[in-house]
């Protein structure tokens, strides 16, 4: 008998998570109000579809540019202090944006520049926030915490645009920008009040440049992570057409003002909240790949409706399942990343996910905005729907990988090397050789088993790897891999490996005829 999945609301019973989640909700509402205000200012002050769509690009492009640096900072610095510093910077940018808008000195170029600055702050915030979630809730509740993140984001979609539409119609965009600034200040206060427990780690932080390279290596040599990122990108590029073109559907096709535009975004948000609430039940009944298939086809159908419908009521109704499909896909993808990534590289891995998340929407916004300029709103929506349907078909060849049986807990199981003297942390590179006695009839199976070991070495620090046959001593195979520095290799010994890495090594060693023998060679 299987245990039921944790409730989507279970993490809210943890006081620290609840406090920070409420602060995140306030910040998300403020961000959506800021987005609506910026887009509507450009609808009123410019005449091109592309410039309106570029608001989304200006807010998300910094995440693409700063993804790995922000993840490396979140994995090497104190995450609480980093969040406080970044949110304080966002308060300063928000004050400047508010003052200049209220003074009537906000041309499109300056608006996009300050929007870019806000996006840079969000780029630095996202990996740190995502990485502290496992410090706040038990591991079995991580999927529920991810769903609550989706609820926060999409409740903000329901509330933020609607409130922004009313405020813009009555008071102008300056007040909207002021409230967004207040939301940043509230987040600073919530993080300031949170004091994480001492994790007991004594290792010195990684150097920034080494941390950047290590994060890139981990993603490059992790088939599971690469597949998660692929599924996210295949959904986000066509899905971004909804967000990029919705202000134009509201203003040009339906003749709505800012309040009507807020209602349309609110419909997406309401659907997303419903999807987040239903998600635990759907996840219990369907596989992840079936969820992605259904959600992708639903979203494609919604894009067709947006391309062809002329009725406000029809579009509002269609936007409800759009929100549900959006949260079904992204909540599952985000939870898969959270559950798979080990703690030492979690922020960097999530930063790459944020880069795909933002980059897919930024590229898509430019693509669909430009296509709408040239061929019209209907053609842009129908092209996005076709691309979404094509992406769903690729699930046949590139499904999400099943990671349910993988042990992702840290594992410290390598024996300590016996050294005459301890090298300096920056000494290197280090060549590690491990010899295995393997009978000829087991050699083929051993070589296949070592492929999983190879990926583990490359994920955790190796830059080169090879497996060699000793032609002077038959029945002996030698694994050799190169690590950039002694510090990188020590980190392999002290916490970068996981239970699944250990299982892969044990499967290979079971095919050998005796214990392996390791040597460590340091470059002269």
Q: What is the pLDDT of residues 494-507, one digit of tens each?
A: 889 999 999 999 99
Beta bridge partners of 521: 431
Write down how long the chain is: 524
Chain-centre distance of CA 184, in angstroms?
21
- Mean predicted confidence (pLDDT) in 71-78: 86
∠ at Cα 288 (329, 264), nearest 5°?
Answer: 20
DSSP assignment string, 432-471: EEEEEE--GGGHHHHHHHHHHHHHHHHHHT-SEEEEEE-S
Q: Which residues pair with 476 in a beta bridge?
A: 437
Q: What is the DSSP letter of 252?
A: I
- Which H or E run contains 162? helix 142-170
**Phi and psi of 206, rounded to 5°?**
-65, 150
Structure tokens belonging to residue 443: 């050699």
Tell me the pairing of strands 476-483 and 517-522: unpaired
Which pLDDT belongs to residue 258? 66
Q: 346-375 and 49-76 are packed helices; what angle lies between their axes, rounded to 10 degrees?
A: 170
- Cis geometry, peptide bond prior to residue 431 (ω within 30 degrees of 0): no
The pLDDT, as a whole number, for residue 88 is 93
CA distance 253 to 267: 18
Q: What is the DSSP letter of 172?
A: -
Contact 146, 338 (CB under 8 A): yes
Pick 308 or 6 by higher pLDDT: 308
pLDDT one-digit tens code per residue, 106-163: 787 788 888 889 888 988 888 888 888 877 888 777 767 777 776 787 677 667 777 8
What single string gives the DSSP state of each residue in 321-340? HHHHHHHHHHHHHHHHHHHH
Q: How far apart are CA 219 and CA 73, in angstroms?
A: 17
**Cα–Cα distance for residue pair 72/355, rounded to 1 Å:** 13
Mean pLDDT rounded to a whole number for the chain: 86
Tell me the C-alpha distance between 295 and 327, whole Å: 9
Weakest-pLDDT range from 44-48, 182-186, 285-289:
44-48
Q: How far apart are CA 216 and CA 214, in angstroms?
A: 5
**Residue 8 — very low, low, confident or very high, per pLDDT cuts 50/70/90?**
low
Q: How much helix, strand and coil, in percent to the nearest 5, is found in the chain?
A: 75, 5, 20
Question: What is the percent of the chain with per-residue pLDDT over 90, rounded to a whole number?
Answer: 37
Q: What is the Cα–Cα distance from 27 to 181, expressed in whole angstroms? A: 9
Task: Centre a 10 Å sphere on the Cβ of residue 378 and count the other Cβ atoms it contains.
Answer: 15
């Amino acid at each position: 008998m299987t245990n039921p999945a944790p409730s989507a609301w279970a993490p809210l019973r943890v006081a620290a998570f609840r406090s920070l989640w409420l602060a995140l909700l306030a910040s998300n509402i403020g961000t959506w109000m800021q987005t609506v205000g910026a887009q509507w200012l450009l609808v009123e002050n410019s005449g091109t579809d592309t410039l309106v769509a570029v608001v989304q690009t200006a807010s998300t492009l910094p995440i693409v540019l700063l993804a790995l640096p922000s993840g490396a900072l979140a994995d090497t610095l104190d995450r609480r202090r980093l969040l406080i510093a970044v949110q304080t910077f966002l308060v300063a940018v928000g004050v400047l944006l508010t003052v200049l808008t209220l003074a009537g000195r906000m041309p499109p170029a300056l608006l996009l520049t300050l929007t870019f600055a806000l996006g840079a702050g969000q780029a630095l915030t996202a990996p740190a926030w995502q990485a502290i979630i496992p410090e706040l809730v038990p591991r079995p509740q991580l999927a529920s915490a991810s769903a609550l993140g989706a609820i926060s984001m999409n409740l903000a979609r329901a509330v933020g645009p609607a409130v922004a539409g009313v405020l813009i119609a009555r008071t102008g965009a300056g007040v909207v920008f002021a409230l967004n600034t207040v939301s940043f200040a509230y987040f600073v206060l919530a993080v300031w009040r949170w004091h994480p427990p001492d994790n007991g780690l004594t290792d010195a932080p990684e150097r920034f440049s080494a941390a950047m390279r290590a994060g890139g290596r981990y993603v490059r040599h992790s088939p599971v992570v690469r597949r998660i990122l692929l599924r996210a990108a295949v959904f986000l590029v066509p899905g971004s057409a909804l967000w990029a073109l919705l202000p134009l559907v509201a203003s040009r096709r339906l003749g709505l003002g800012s309040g009507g535009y807020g209602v349309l975004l609110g419909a997406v948000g309401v659907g997303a909240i419903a999807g987040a609430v239903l998600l635990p039940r759907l996840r219990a009944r369907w596989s992840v790949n079936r969820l992605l298939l259904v959600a992708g086809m639903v979203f494609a159908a919604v894009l067709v409706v947006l391309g062809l419908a002329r009725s406000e009521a029809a579009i509002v109704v269609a936007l409800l399942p759009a929100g549900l499909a959006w949260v079904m896909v992204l909540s599952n993808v985000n939870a898969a990343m959270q559950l798979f990534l080990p703690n030492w590289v979690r922020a960097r891995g999530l930063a790459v996910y944020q880069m795909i998340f933002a980059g897919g929407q930024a590229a898509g916004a430019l693509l669909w905005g430009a296509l709408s300029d040239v061929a019209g709103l209907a053609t842009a929506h129908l092209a996005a729907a076709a691309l979404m349907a094509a992406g769903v078909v690729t699930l046949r060849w590139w499904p999400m990988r099943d990671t349910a049986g993988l042990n992702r807990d840290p594992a410290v199981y390598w024996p300590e090397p016996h050294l005459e003297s301890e090298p300096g942390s920056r000494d290197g590179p280090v060549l590690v050789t491990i010899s295995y006695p393997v009978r000829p009839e087991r050699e083929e199976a051993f070589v296949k088993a070592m492929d999983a070991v190879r990926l583990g070495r490359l994920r955790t620090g190796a830059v080169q790897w090879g497996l060699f046959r000793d032609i002077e001593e038959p029945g002996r195979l030698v694994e050799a891999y190169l690590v950039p520095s002694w510090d990188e290799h020590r980190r392999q010994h002290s916490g970068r490996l996981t239970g699944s890495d250990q299982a892969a090594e044990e499967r290979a060693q079971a095919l050998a005829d005796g214990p392996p023998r390791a040597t460590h060679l340091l470059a002269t």
